[in-house]
Amino acid sequence: MKEGRPLVVFLIVPLMLATVACSQSSNTDLPAASPPAAQTAAAVSGSEKLLLRYLINQQTGEFGVFTNRLDSSQEEQAASGHEVLSESAGLLMRYYVNVRDEEGFKKAWAAARQTFDSERLFSYRFSPKGNKKYPVNAAVDDLRIIRALYEASDAFGGKAYREEANRYAKRFYSTNVRDRKLFDLYDEDYDARNRSITLCYIDLFTLRKLPVDKDESERLQSAMLNVIQKGYLSDTFPFYETRYDYETSQYSSEHIHAIESLLTILHLAEIGQSQASSIAYIKKQVTENHLFGEYTKAGEPANDIRSTAIYAIAALIGHETSDDELYYGSLEKMKAFQVMDPSSPLYGGFGDPASGQAYSFDNLMALLAFSVKR
């Protein structure tokens, strides 16, 4: 075991990622509106092109998409400034697959491999100023990169992408899965896992693809689906608990962050297991502009933040459930955050023109939401 840093700190930090993304998302009050009419494909395409141009010109460097457009000391507990995240790499790779841009995908994958790949995992974070690659992964981010490779194989053909996907998937299974349990993270310095799973990390669709024994795979999928389903809060507030502790068999949630529950619902929707009550609730909140960033477990809003990423994920849920009203309605709310002032450095992106800040998760989730209607 290596000396020099407490294990507990590194076991906690990746668990903050979804919450950090939520708290760092752009937030602006939106006017109340009646249910929107479906947007045209041309309108979506125009917004998407502006966003992609913004990201390439304003928020991307040699290592990938910056966590924030504005730089920082890169010494904070959570990623900041021009640090880069494997989360961002996977989202960008999935975008290029959706738009069938193999050259874009190759460049994004090459940067991701060079920046994040280590002997046993994809580091969740890289800090250029200190040339520091963190020795910890985040399960959801590794799974996203693996999924992008499988999708690239289907989209672009050839064996190379699938062979890479299988190799990284087997590695991931050896580090983040034990006894039919998926764990949030693996620390390669300590050869250690944490003791819990964050529900929004359970990418059920990609777990199906892991190249392991069929019976083992099915038992893992069943066990993790069961963890999610038992974390369902209520038909009145049809969101989900935050995490599950394997040692105590207990769920815990300080507050319910919308981004986390929406990602959990998206993962369910991708395998046809989302609750009708959840979809109806999301549609109602989108229509009424009441889809907030944080709630109590009783379903009372804990803040009035409305963010780009929240509506982007709601749109993806609409796409996965073939609900065009939810997809286009969420997209319309999301687009209200897009900076459309040609004189602004943020033109085409999602951020705060006053401060100049813009976060990778907001912009990449929006890009992914734009790209799925092909």
CA distance linking residue 56 with residue 1, whole number of Å = 41
Q: What is the pLDDT of residues 212-260, one digit of tens each?
A: 999 999 999 999 999 999 999 999 999 999 999 999 999 999 899 999 9
**How far is CA 47 from each of CA 29, 256, 339, 349, rounded to the nearest angstrom?**
20, 31, 10, 9
3-state helix, strand and coil shares in percent for the chain, rounded to the nearest 5: 50, 10, 40
Q: What is the mean pLDDT of residues 145-174?
A: 96
pLDDT tier at 81, thresholds 50, 70, 90: confident
Backbone angles phi, psi at 11, to 5 degrees: -80, -20
Domains and CATH numbers, the chain: 7-371 (1.50.10.10)
Q: Give one DSSP letter per residue of 79-146, joined into a string.
A: --TT-EEHHHHHHHHHHHHHTT-HHHHHHHHHHHHHHHB-SSSB-SEEEGGGTEE-SB--HHHHHHHH
What is the C-alpha separation between 7 and 194, in angstroms, rounded? 10
Higher pLDDT, 65 or 16: 65
Q: Tokens 């705060």 — which residue? A: 352
What's the pLDDT tens digit per position in 317-333?
999 999 999 999 999 99
Residues 217, 208 contacting (CB under 8 angstroms): yes
For residue 112, give both structure tokens: 């991701």
Mean pLDDT score across all residues of the chain: 89
Comparing 71-75, 193-197, 267-271, 357-361, the range with the smallest average pLDDT is: 71-75
Is the distance from CB of 343 to CB of 53 less than 8 angstroms? Answer: no
How far is the C-alpha of 167 from the C-alpha of 210, rounded, in Å?
A: 10
CB atoms inside a 10 Å sphere around CB 210: 20
Residue 29 scores a pLDDT above 50: no
47, pLDDT greater than 70? yes
Looking up tokens 């200190």, which residue turns up?
A: 130
Kindly indicate the confidence band of residue 338, based on its pLDDT and cuts at 50, 70 and 90. very high
pLDDT at 6 over 50: no
Q: Environment class of residue 214 by beta-carbon count within 10 Å: exposed (0-12), middle (13-18) or buried (19+)?
A: exposed
Distance between CA atoms of residues 232 and 264, nearest Å = 10
8 Å CB contact between 265 and 278: yes
